[in-house]
Amino acid sequence: MPHTPEPDDEGLDPVPPPHLVFYVEQALLGALLLDPHRVDEASGIGPDSFSTAAHAAIYRAITSLPRPDVAEHAKNTRWLDRVLAAAREQARGLPPSYLHTLVQVCPWPRHAPAYARMVEAEHARRRLQAAAERLVHTVHDVSLTHPVQTVLTEADALTKVVDDIAHRFPPRAGALPRANTSAPPATPNTVEAVEEEKILLATATAYPSDIASVRWLLPDDLILPLHAGLWQCLTALDRRNEPVDPVTVLWEAQQRGLMEDASDPGDVLRMLAEPAASVEHWGERALQRSLLATAEHTARRIEAYAGDRANTPFQLVVGARRALADVTSVRVRWRHSTKATPPLQRRLEATTRARPPTTRAPLADRSTRATR
């Protein structure tokens, strides 16, 4: 097999050796050059399935040219010359000796279907990795006018790639990907997110009757543990139909152990006393951040799976589908949030300063709640 030459210049890093699939592609192309009639047996691949432009050009030439007569092909190299000429139209630097190298390194031409399946599997891995990378890039694209819709569209494109791989490589029961792949945490705009979460909590405290309209917002959607815990306190008080104001929320937080991290009760009280706009508006903002963070985390998990060449296509399908289920879950809640209030009304609420904070008496709302 051809080796990778070392660079002549001192101080340069050595060229990394080709991946295993490079040699698999060589074996497949050598088999097809020796016996062109085996092209029909090497199904499921195309020129874009190969890892190098030269291999893609050779495969395109092999499959596009008329197949030679078997007896004639065994006597001379005329068909190989035509393949070389056609391949050079796409890969001009292709040396004439390379086709002979391919023929020499092929162990058994009759194994062409097995080689083709290996090439197809590696191509599936590259496709999955590229789709996941596009999703990460889309999440971080600050120029998008409608980031959520665009990210969800890219997530759908990633799902289609997974479905296509599953069609070619049906997943097997229990074929989980290797578990030592960990995705890095998402990195949202922490300063902006923290400030908006504070306003969300204060506004929900001032207008507890609006908490029921944002049931689609979960504690995990908030980035700070303290904020997530305070949201749990608010929803718990609302669910129990108890009075909601900064003091009752803080007391509930203490009962849940949230104040054991040395949080200053005075700071929390001041934070809960500064509402603005509407609960729906800030809740939707928090959910949007959660959706984008979930999409990025999912994409990076799939990137990690696809980056591990020990994972088979069967394992990649199972792992990718499990990861994409997280996006589906938050997408459902996003649809509920955007359908709950008409867009025009949400815009008006977002630009209107909230009224002075009010508290809710438990008996005043109990009869109303019973009719919901």
The confidence score (pLDDT) of residue 344 equals 38
pLDDT value of position 83:
95
- pLDDT interval class at 351 (50, 70, 90): very low
- pTM score of the predicted model: 0.81
- Out of 40-44, 150-154, 248-252, pick the least confident: 40-44
Whole-number Å distance between alpha carbons of 50 and 59: 9
Phi, psi (degrees; rounded to nearest 5) at 109: -60, -30
pLDDT tens sequence across 14-38:
667 788 999 999 999 999 999 999 9
Q: What percentage of residues in the chain have a pLDDT greater than 90? A: 70
Identify the structural domains of the chain with CATH numbers, from first to last.
Answer: 20-107 (1.10.860), 121-372 (1.10.860.10)
CA 353 to CA 222: how far, in whole Å? 23
Gap between the Cα atoms of 200 and 212, Å rounded: 14
pLDDT at 174: 67
- The predicted structure's pLDDT at residue 358: 47
pLDDT interval class at 246 (50, 70, 90): very high
Side-chain-side CA neighbours of 331 within 13 Å: the count stands at 16
Model confidence band, residue 183 (pLDDT cutoffs 50, 70, 90)? low
Q: How far is residue 344 CA from its own chain's centroid? A: 32
Close Cβ partners of 96 (under 8 Å, ≥ 6 residues apart): 84
pLDDT digits (tens, 9 = 90+) for 318-340: 999 999 999 999 999 999 988 74
- 240: pLDDT strictly greater than 80: yes
**Among 45-49, 218-222, 357-361, the least confident range:** 357-361
Q: How confident is the model at residue 305 (pLDDT cuts 50, 70, 90)?
A: very high
121-148, pLDDT tens digit by residue?
999 999 999 999 999 999 999 999 999 9
Distance, CA of 270 to CA of 220 (rounded, Å): 23
pLDDT for the residue 99: 93
